[in-house]
Amino acid sequence: MNSVIKYFTSIFKGIRSLWAGMRVTGKYFVSPGEIVTEQYPENRATLKMAEGFKGEVIMPHDENNQHHCTGCGICELNCPNGSIEIITKRIPNEEGKPERVIDKHIYHLSMCTFCELCIKTCPSHALAWGQDFEHAVYDRTKLTKVLNKPGSTLKKEGALL
């Protein structure tokens, strides 16, 4: 007799536990307000990434097309993957002495692991994170970027950008 009671209680316990699970899924079925899907390409206009979002490394320029990069190469040294190449050139300054300035700050986005060491170690705070994250391209060479804009010059003094 005991085993018969056990048999039937096991059936009812089983059904009750199953019903508890079905209540959870059933609750979500009748409450479409809980849907969490983001409709990505449609919400592009409203989609704002967080301030420090690591989309890509950029070099902020001010309105006079000036940046802070001195071409010292510390970012290149610190980059663990070799995604940064610094090409400098020497141009004479006002006193006529040749001075080293940045020619091209080449950034290989395809190799970057977003470790933030270049931004962290830059002594003149010339680099920052850009929030653009749509990096899909058909040609890999397009992921190699020159961060300093053409014709840009070094901003000698003044506040941080």
Partner 1 sequence: MSEEIIKNIIVREDEDYIVNMGPQHPSTHGVLRLEVCLHGEFVNYLIPHIGYIHRGIEKMSESDTYKQIIHLTDRMDYLSAHMNNEAVCLAVENALGIEVPERVKYIRVILDELTRLASHHLWWSAFGMDLGALTTFFYGMRDREKVLAIFEESFGSRLLHSFNIPGGLMHDVHPNFQKHTMEFVRYFRKKLPEYKQLLTDNIIFHNRTKGIGIMPCETAVAFGVTGPSGRGSGFACDVRKVAPYGVYDKIEFKEILHEEGDSFSRYLVRMEEMEESLNILEHVVDQVPEGDYTARMKPIIKLPEGEYFQRVETARGELGVYIVSDGKKYPYRIKFRSPNFSNLFVLNTLAKGGKIADLVAICGSLDLVIPDIDR
Partner 2 sequence: MLLEIFSFSTLTANIDKSLHAWMAPWLAVVTELVIIGIVFLLFYAVLGLFLVYLERKVCAIIQNRIGPNRVGKWGLLQTVADFIKLITKELIPIRNADSFLFNLAPFIVIAASFMAMAAIPFAKGLHAIDLNIGIFYIIAVSSLGVVGILIAGWSSNSKYSLIGAMRSGAQIVSYELSVGLSLLAVVVFAGTMQLSAIVESQANGWWIFKGHIPALIAFIIYLIASTAEINRGPFDLAEAESELTAGFHTEYSGIKFAFFFLAEYINMFIVAAIAATMFFGGWMPFHIGHWDAFNRVMDYIPSVVWFFGKTFFIIYLIMWFKWTFPRLRIDQLLNLEWKYLLPLSLMNIVIIAFVVLMGWYFH
- Residues at the contact surface with partner 2, assessed by CB under 8 A: 11, 18, 21-22, 24-26, 28-29, 32, 34-37, 39
Least spacing, CB of residue 74 vs partner 2, in Å: 46
Least spacing, CB of residue 136 vs partner 2, in Å: 18
- How many of the other CB atoms lie within 10 Å of CB of 49? 13
Cβ burial 67-89 (10 Å sphere, 16+ → b, else e): bbbbbbbbbbebbeeebbebebe
Give SS3 for 119.
Answer: helix
Least spacing, CB of residue 71 vs partner 1, in Å: 18
Nearer to partner 2, 47 or 87 (CB): 47
Report the number of secondary-structure helices (H) and strands (E) in the chain.
3, 7
Considering CB distances under 5 to 8 angstroms, the limit depending on partner class, which of partner 2, partner 1, none binds residue 78? partner 1
Q: Are 73 and 126 in contact (CB under 8 A)?
A: no
| Rounded Cα distance, 118 and 110, in Å | 16
Residues engaged in binding partner 1 (CB under 8 A): 13-14, 17-18, 20-21, 23-25, 36, 49-54, 78, 80, 113-117, 120-121, 129
Considering CB distances under 5 to 8 angstroms, the limit depending on partner class, which of partner 1, partner 2, none binds residue 117? partner 1
